[in-house]
Amino acid sequence: MKTVLITGTSSGIGRAAVLKFQKEGWNVIATMRSPEKETAFNVLDNVLIVALDVQKIQTIENAIQTGIERFGQIDAIVNNAGHAVFGAFELTSEEQVSKIFDINVYGPMRVLRVILPYFRAQRSGVIINISSQGGRVTFPTCSIYHATKFALEGLTEALAYELIPFGIQTKIVEPGSTATGFVGAAEITTGQIPAYEEFIKIGLGNWAKYDTMTSLPEEIADVIFLASTDKSEKLRYQAGKDTELYVGKMQEGDDQAYVRYMRERFIPEYLAK
Ligand SMILES: NC(=O)c1ccc[n+]([C@@H]2O[C@H](COP(=O)([O-])OP(=O)(O)OC[C@H]3O[C@@H](n4cnc5c(N)ncnc54)[C@H](OP(=O)(O)O)[C@@H]3O)[C@@H](O)[C@H]2O)c1
């Protein structure tokens, strides 16, 4: 019986992933910041709930140790926990920048530092890093969020080469817009610069207007499970119809045509007349 450890399972995609792996017969180490609040996973067979805050290395060490003691070994890790800050970069505080990088980039790095010695010793393991279509393409008003997901993509792509000698597989799952509380929980920058306020209103307004291709978290969980089990060399797994549109447009190859397309779609008010 295989075992997966997933971060950020209190809600959304992480929660759906716990249920998917459990249903498929895996042991699941369901980690979250506040396990005392969890009431549903406790009754599921082969699900171990453990405290893990990706900003605190000791909780990661403890969760991995506890999971191995309970299930014998860990076969896959899903770095899912994430945070969003939306708005103009100039309006983003140092604290907001530090926090989002600490959760979205340094968090998965901390998890990797702890799990890699185990994976190297057992000469196997699958790492699934949950990026975003926002790790491949950018949308107006999400600059600092994109910076974190582009960083995670670069790290993961390079690791996919680096870890080959140890039999460790490294994968990226890129969800598109997904019906979770993620956007609602995002920090929105506030500022006193009217031109930015207008820009953000237009950018977010057009985003909402086109946001009609939203996936369910269960659909993303299916893709995470596929990436964990298909044993292929495939690196990137797009998850969601909107990723096909935006990443597909970018992959058509004409970089300036793609940038023009995104400007026309999301901020037409700012096109040169
Ligand atoms: N929803 C989308 O449209 C979308 C699109 C592309 C990519 N994604 C990515 O998908 C992943 C999951 O997001 P979601 O949509 O499922 O949103 P979500 O329901 O808000 O889930 C985010 C999870 O991350 C956890 N978390 C935040 N900070 C943490 C920390 N320091 N340590 C451990 N856990 C922490 C949250 O736990 P608490 O309950 O403790 O806050 C929550 O369980 C994220 O990486 C996100 O970037 C989402």
Please tell me the distance between residue 182's alpha carbon and the centre of ligand 1 in angstroms.
6
Dihedral, 85, 90, 94, 96 alpha carbons, nearest 10? -10
Residue 96 to residue 76: CA distance in whole angstroms: 30
Looking at the predicted structure, is the pLDDT value of residue 124 above 80?
A: yes
Tell me the β-bridge partners of 49.
Answer: 30
Give the pLDDT band of residue 273 (cuts 50, 70, 90).
low
Residue 85 to residue 137: CA distance in whole angstroms: 16
Please tell me the distance between residue 30's alpha carbon and the centre of ligand 1 in angstroms.
14
For the chain, domain boundaries: 3-190+215-240
Residue 22 to residue 44: CA distance in whole angstroms: 8
Q: Which residues line ligand 1 (CB under 6 A)?
A: 7-8, 10-14, 32-34, 53-55, 80-83, 103, 130, 132, 175, 177-178, 180-182, 185, 217
What pLDDT is attached to residue 55? 98
What pLDDT is attached to residue 119? 98
Please tell me the distance between residue 40's alpha carbon and the centre of ligand 1 in angstroms.
18
Q: 3-190+215-240 architecture in CATH?
A: 3-Layer(aba) Sandwich (3.40)
Least confident residue range of 87-91, 140-144, 178-182, 200-204:
200-204
What pLDDT is attached to residue 207? 84
Q: Known catalytic residues?
A: 131, 145, 149
Give the pLDDT band of residue 192 (cuts 50, 70, 90).
confident
Q: Using one digit for the tens of pLDDT, what is the confidence trace for 230-266?
A: 999 999 999 998 999 999 999 999 999 999 999 999 9
